[in-house]
Structure 1
Amino acid sequence: MTAELAVRGGGQLAGINPLFRLALRRDRIMLPVWVLVLTLMVVSGGSSIEQLYDTPAARAEVAASMSANSSLRSMYGPVFDDSIGALVAWRFGVFAATLAAVMSLIIVIRHTREEEETGRQELLSSAMVGRRAPLTSALLTALVANALVTLFVTGGLAAQGGTGALALGIAVGATGMLFATMAAIVAQLTESARLAKGMTGGVLGLAFLLRAAGDSGVNDGSSVLTWLSPIGWAENMRPYAGERWWVLLLFVAAIAAQAAAAYTLAGRRDIGMGFLPARPGPAEGRLATAGGLAWRLQRGTLLGWTVGFAVAGVVFGGMAEGAADLVGDNEQAKEIFARMGGQEGMTQAFLATMVGMLGMMAALYVVASILRLHSEETSQRAEPLLANRLGRLRWAAGHLVIAFGGAVAIMLVGGLGLAVGYGDGFGAVLGASLVQVPAIWLLGGLAVLLYGALPKAAPAVWGVVGACLLIGWIGPALDLPQSVMNLSPFGHLPKLPGTEMQWAPVLLLTVMAVALTGAGLAALRRRDLLT
C-alpha cells in the first residue's frame, strides 16, 4: 500500500531514472556493438567509394548504370546524384536504416515484454515504479542508441558535406525510432517477446519489400509503394542530393502517434498480460518428445527465415546479369568483386559473393536458435522438463537438430532462389550454398560451447558473428590483409560457383564444429542450471 501511494504521488513515471540506468547497464555491450557496426558500415563506405570512383566521370557513369538497372534499384534504391556522399547514401542508406530498425525493436522488446515474460518486471513494479516507467526507459534507451548512430554517421561523413551527412544520419536514426515506437505498441499487444519480435520484424520486412517494389519500377523515388514504406521515407530525404527536410515531418508524426498509442495501451493492461491473449493449448498433450517440443517452439522462426532466404535468393539472382553494369570499366571495383567472389568473371564473382552473404546471414539464424536453449533455461521453463526423466542431452539435442538442420534447409532454399533468379546453374549454385554450411555450423558450435560452459557469457557469441559479418562485408572493399580475413570461418571456404572445389577447409571446419558442439554438450551435463 505504501509503494502504491508513493507511485501515485510521483506519477506513472516514478522510478524512471534507476530503470533507465539499469537498461543502459544491461546494454553496455550490445548497444556499443550495434552503434559501432552501423557507423563503420556507412563511414567506411565513403573511403571505399572515393577510391573506387575517383573521378567525376567515373561516378557519373556508375550513377547512370545504377539508375538504368531495375534489379539494383530494388536492392539499394535509386541514385539521386553522382557525388561521393550521394553514392554512399545510395549504397548504404537503405541497409543502415533497416539495421537501425532491427537494433531498436530488439532494445524496446528486451526492456518491456521480455522483462514481463521472465517475471522481473513484476518484482520491480512491486516497489515504487510507475506503470509507464518501464516503457519510457526502453524508449529512452532506443533514443540514446539512435542518437549515437546519427551523431557518429554525421561526424564520419562530414568531410563529404555537413548538410548531406546530417540528413543521412537523421534518416537512419529516425527510422530506428519509428520502429522502436512500433515495437512498443506490439509489446503491449502480445504476451510473448518472441512473437513481438516476429510481428515487428514482419512489418519491417514488408516495409523493405514495398520500398524494393516501388524503386524497381521507377528511378526517381516517387513511386506510391516507396512512400508507403518508412524505409522509403529515409531514402527520399535525399542526402547529398537536394535534401528534403520536410520528409522528417512524416517521421515525427508517425513516431509521436505510435508513442501515444503505446502509452495509452500500457496504462490499460495488467503486467504480464497482452491485448492479444495466447491461444489455449489442446486438452490433451500432443508433444511426446523433446524434439517435438523444440520443433513446436522454433517452427515459426524457421519458416520466417526460409521465406526470407527464398525472396532474397530470387532478388540476388535477378541482379547477377547486371553485375557487369555495377562496376562498368572500373578496375578497382572489379578487383573488389574478385576478392569477394574469388574470380575475375563478374557474373560468377557476383553469385559467389551473394552465396557468401547468405551464409553469413544464416549464421544469425543458427546462433539465435541455439541460444533459445539459454532463454528456456533463464525463464525457468527448462527446469520442470529436466526434473523428470528427460536428460539434458536429449533436451538440448531437440533444439540443436532444428538449429543445425534448419541452417542446411535455409541455405538450400536460398541457393534455389538464387538459381531461379539467375535462371541457370542450379546444381552449381546449390552446391555453393551447401559449402557455406560448415562455417555456419562452426559459429553454431561456438554458441553451444559458450552456452554449455559459460552460460552467462553465451550472448557474447553475437559479437563474434557481428565481427564475421563486418569482415566479410567491408574487408574486401578495404583490402584487408588475408590474415584478418581468415579470422572469419567464411574466409577459408572456396569461392563457389566458378572455382575449383577444395575439400580440406570444408572438412576441417566441419570437424571443428563437431568438436565445439561436443565440448559444449559435455560442459552442459556437468554444470548447474541457472536460477
Structure 2
Amino acid sequence: MNRVRVLLGQRARRDGAQVALWAGGAGLLAFAAYAGVDGTYGSEGDRTSLLAAALANPVILLFRGLPSGTAPGAFIVFLIFPWLALLAAFMSTFLAVRHTRGDEEAGRAELVAATPAGRTLPIVTTVVHGILANALLAALIAGALIAVGLDASGAALAGVAAGAVGVVFLGVGLLAAPLVRSSRAANSASVWTVLVTFVLAGTGNALGTPSDDLTRMESSWVTWLSPFGWGENTRAFDADQWGPVYLCLFVGLALAAIAVALASVRDLGSSFLGERRGRAEGSALLSHPVGLVWRLTRGALLGWAIGGFLVGVLSTSLASIVAEVGATNPAVEDVLRQIAGQGSIAQGTVTTFFTMIGVFAACVAVQTVCRARQEEAHGTAEPLLSAPVHRVRWLAGYLAVALLGITAVIGAGVLGAAAGIAGGDGDASLMRTVVITGVGQVAAASVFLVVTALLFVVAPRLTIPAGWTLVLVAMVLGLFGPLFQFPEWLVHVSPIAVTPLVDGEDVDLRGLWWLLVATAAGATASLALMRRRELAPAG
C-alpha cells in the first residue's frame, strides 16, 4: 500500500496542473451551459423548436447528444454532454499513455521496475490515478450543475456518466501503449479511437427513432457501439438510467486488466505489434530538415485534412436547413447573428462550421510543434543538430510544415464546402463566405502556431500541456461563447472568433491585421530566441 501511495504522489505532482485544467474546464463548461441555455433558450417553446429541428434533420445530431425532453437539465445534457465526455476521454488517454509507454521511453519505467514495485504495480497505480482524475471531473461537473439549481440526482448522473466514459478511454490508452512501439503511436491510436467513436455515437443518434412530439430520440443499435453513446443513454434529468454507467466502468476496468496482464509478459520497450520495415535507402526528401518533418507528421496532417473536408461538406449542405430553423426559432437566429454579424443565417452557419475547422487547423499547428518537443525529449533531435543543421533552421522546418498543414486543413474544408454545394444543389454564392472565412481561419491558426513555438523556445517543458490548453480554451470561447452568452470581449480573446466576417455584401476584417501582426512577431521572436537556446531533456 505504501508503494502505491508513493507512486500516486509522484503522478499527482506530474499531472496536477493538467488534470486540474481538464477537469476544471469540464466543470466551467457545464456551469456556462446553464447560463447560456437560460438566456438563449429560456422558454420551453424555444427548446421544443430546436429539438424538433434537430430530430427533423438528424445530421445535426452528429455534434450533439441524445434528445431526452425539454426540461432545462435534459436540454443542457443534450447540448454539451458529448463535449464533456470528450474532455474526459482525451484527459484519460493522454494520462494513460504518459505513465506507461511515455515513462518507458524516458527511462523511468525501467528504474521503477528495478524497485520492489516491479512492472505491474505502476500500471495498477496509473489505473487508480486515472479513476481518481475522472472522479474529480465528474464531481466538478455535478457540482456546477447543482450550483445553478438543477436536480442533484440528475446532476450527479451527468457528471458520473462523463467520468465513466473517461474510464473507458483510460483503458483504451492503457491497452494501446503495449501494442505499439512509441508513445506517439499510442496517442495517435487512442485519439483516433476517441474521434471515431464520437462520430459513431452521433451517427447512431441520427439513425434513431424520434418520438411523436419530436422532443426525444431512441438511439439506434449503432449508438451502442460507442462509449459516448452509452453515456448519452443514461438520460440524465429524464429517465436517470445508471445501467450504461456500469457498462462503461466494466469495459474500462476490463481493458485495464488486460493491459496489466500484458505488462507481465512483455519486455520493457517492446511492443506486440511490430513496426513496418523501412526502406533500405531513404528518399532524397530526408536530406533536408523540412523533408524530415514532413515524413514524421504527414499521417497526422492527412487525418486532420480529412476531418476538415467532412466538416466543410456539412457547412454548406446544412446551411439551408439551419436557415429554416432560424426562421422559426428566434433564439437560434440570435446566436447565429452573434457569430455572423449582419450576414444571413446561411452565412452564419458557414462561419460556425469553419470556426470548427479553424480549431482543427490549430490542432495541426500545436501537434506539429509538440512533435519537435517530443523529438528533443526523446533524444532524437540531438544527433540531428550535431550535423550541419542549425537549430534555427531545424525549428523553421517545423514552422513551415505546420503552416502547410494549416493551409491543407482549411483548403480541404473549402473543397468540402464546394462539394456540399455541388452535391445538394446549394447556394453557390456561399462560396464567397467560405473562402473569406477560410482565409481568416488560416491567420487564426497561425497565431496558435507561433505561440506554441514561443513556448517551445522559452519554456520547453510547458509546450505540450500549455499548447493544447490554449486550443481547448479557444475552442470553448469560439464555439460555445455566443451560445452561452459570454461577454463579447471574452469571446474575442479566442483568435478563431475574431477572423473576418461576411456581412451581407460587405466584409468586416475585424481582428485580421492583429492576427497577422501577432503571427509575424511570434515567428520572428521564436526563431531569434532559438539561436541561443540549449536542448532541454525530458522532465
**Is the TM-score greater than 0.5?**
yes
Question: d(CA) in 1 for partners of 2:18 and 2:200?
Answer: 30
2:405 equivalent in structure 1: 406
Question: d(CA) in 1 for partners of 2:358 and 2:315?
Answer: 13
Task: List alignment gaps of at least 5 residues for structure 2.
Answer: 211-216
1:395 and 2:394 aligned: yes
1:89 equivalent in structure 2: 77
1:315 and 2:275 aligned: no
1:150 and 2:138 aligned: yes
* Equivalent AA in structure 2 for residue 471 of structure 1: L
1:113 equivalent in structure 2: 101
1:201 equivalent in structure 2: 191
1:528 and 2:534 aligned: yes
The question of whether the paired residues in 2 share the 8 Å contact of 1:67 and 1:78 is answered with: no
Deviation at 1:20, TM superposition (A): 1.6
Q: Relative to 1, partners in 2 of residues 1:496 and 1:36: Cα closer, same or farther, differing over 3 Å? A: farther
Matches within 5 A, 1:427-442: 427-442=432-447
1:245 and 2:251 aligned: no
The question of whether the paired residues in 2 share the 8 Å contact of 1:14 and 1:133 is answered with: no
Question: d(CA) in 1 for partners of 2:325 and 2:267?
Answer: 54
Q: Secondary structure at the match of 1:27?
A: helix
Query: Greater CA deviation, 189-198 or 217-226?
Result: 217-226
1:10 equivalent in structure 2: none
The question of whether the paired residues in 1 share the 8 Å contact of 2:347 and 2:433 is answered with: no
Deviation at 1:137, TM superposition (A): 2.6
Question: d(CA) in 2 for partners of 1:499 and 1:264?
Answer: 63
2:521 equivalent in structure 1: 515
Q: Secondary structure at the match of 1:239?
A: coil
Deviation at 1:182, TM superposition (A): 1.2
* Equivalent AA in structure 2 for residue 401 of structure 1: A
Q: 2:255 aligns with which of 255, 258, 263?
A: 258
Note the alpha carbon deviations across 1:293-346, whole angstroms, 9 max, x for none. 111110111111111222233234433222245556443443222112223522
Normalising by structure 1, report the TM-score: 0.92
Q: Relative to 1, partners in 2 of residues 1:36 and 1:495: Cα closer, same or farther, differing over 3 Å? A: farther
Q: Secondary structure at the match of 1:15?
A: helix
The question of whether the paired residues in 1 share the 8 Å contact of 2:498 and 2:510 is answered with: no
Note the alpha carbon deviations across 1:486-524, whole angstroms, 9 max, x for none. 322234322247463345842442232122111111111
Matches within 5 A, 1:124-135: 124-135=112-123
Deviation at 1:128, TM superposition (A): 3.1
The question of whether the paired residues in 1 share the 8 Å contact of 2:355 and 2:497 is answered with: no
1:469 and 2:475 aligned: yes
1:188 equivalent in structure 2: 178
The question of whether the paired residues in 2 share the 8 Å contact of 1:213 and 1:226 is answered with: yes
* Equivalent AA in structure 2 for residue 168 of structure 1: A
Question: d(CA) in 2 for partners of 1:267 and 1:315?
Answer: 47
Question: d(CA) in 2 for partners of 1:359 and 1:451?
Answer: 22
Question: d(CA) in 2 for partners of 1:112 and 1:190?
Answer: 12
Q: Secondary structure at the match of 2:506?
A: coil
Q: Relative to 1, partners in 2 of residues 1:16 and 1:461: Cα closer, same or farther, differing over 3 Å? A: same
Deviation at 1:101, TM superposition (A): 0.9
Q: 1:163 aligns with which of 136, 150, 153?
A: 153
Q: 1:457 aligns with which of 439, 455, 462?
A: 462
Q: 2:506 aligns with which of 500, 510, 515?
A: 500
1:5 equivalent in structure 2: none
1:174 and 2:171 aligned: no
Runs of 4+ more than 4 Å apart? 325-330
Normalising by structure 2, report the TM-score: 0.91
Question: d(CA) in 2 for partners of 1:273 and 1:131?
Answer: 13
* Equivalent AA in structure 1 for residue 253 of structure 2: A
2:431 equivalent in structure 1: 426
Question: d(CA) in 1 for partners of 2:162 and 2:483?
Answer: 22
The question of whether the paired residues in 2 share the 8 Å contact of 1:172 and 1:234 is answered with: yes
The question of whether the paired residues in 1 share the 8 Å contact of 2:308 and 2:360 is answered with: no
Matched residue pairs, number?
Answer: 519
* Equivalent AA in structure 2 for residue 414 of structure 1: G
Note the alpha carbon deviations across 1:111-160, whole angstroms, 9 max, x for none. 11111122222233233332112212322222122111211211222322
Q: Secondary structure at the match of 2:507?
A: coil
The question of whether the paired residues in 2 share the 8 Å contact of 1:416 and 1:429 is answered with: no
The question of whether the paired residues in 2 share the 8 Å contact of 1:111 and 1:138 is answered with: yes
Q: 1:62 aligns with which of 50, 70, 79?
A: 50
Note the alpha carbon deviations across 1:428-485, whole angstroms, 9 max, x for none. 3133212211121112111112212332333323333333223223332343333333
Q: 1:23 aligns with which of 2, 11, 18?
A: 11
2:32 equivalent in structure 1: 44
Q: Secondary structure at the match of 1:276?
A: coil
Matches within 5 A, 1:206-217: 206-217=196-207
* Equivalent AA in structure 2 for residue 215 of structure 1: N
Note the alpha carbon deviations across 1:17-50, whole angstroms, 9 max, x for none. 2222111111121111111211222221122112
1:490 and 2:496 aligned: yes
Deviation at 1:102, TM superposition (A): 1.4
1:6 equivalent in structure 2: none
* Equivalent AA in structure 2 for residue 229 of structure 1: S
**What value does the CA root-mean-square deviation take over the aligned residues?**
2.2
Query: Greater CA deviation, 151-160 or 213-222?
Result: 213-222
Question: d(CA) in 2 for partners of 1:314 and 1:208?
Answer: 18
Q: Relative to 1, partners in 2 of residues 1:347 and 1:238: Cα closer, same or farther, differing over 3 Å? A: same
Question: d(CA) in 2 for partners of 1:257 and 1:236?
Answer: 21
The question of whether the paired residues in 1 share the 8 Å contact of 2:40 and 2:484 is answered with: no
Note the alpha carbon deviations across 1:213-270, whole angstroms, 9 max, x for none. 2222223333111111111111111112212222223213312321221111111101
* Equivalent AA in structure 2 for residue 462 of structure 1: W
Q: Relative to 1, partners in 2 of residues 1:122 and 1:457: Cα closer, same or farther, differing over 3 Å? A: same
The question of whether the paired residues in 2 share the 8 Å contact of 1:432 and 1:497 is answered with: no
Identity percentage over the alignment?
Answer: 31
Question: d(CA) in 1 for partners of 2:41 and 2:493?
Answer: 29
The question of whether the paired residues in 2 share the 8 Å contact of 1:337 and 1:350 is answered with: yes
2:214 equivalent in structure 1: none
Question: d(CA) in 1 for partners of 2:199 and 2:150?
Answer: 30
Question: d(CA) in 1 for partners of 2:496 and 2:406?
Answer: 15
Question: d(CA) in 2 for partners of 1:503 and 1:344?
Answer: 14
The question of whether the paired residues in 1 share the 8 Å contact of 2:92 and 2:170 is answered with: yes
Deviation at 1:418, TM superposition (A): 3.2
Q: Relative to 1, partners in 2 of residues 1:128 and 1:518: Cα closer, same or farther, differing over 3 Å? A: farther
The question of whether the paired residues in 2 share the 8 Å contact of 1:351 and 1:497 is answered with: no
* Equivalent AA in structure 1 for residue 446 of structure 2: W
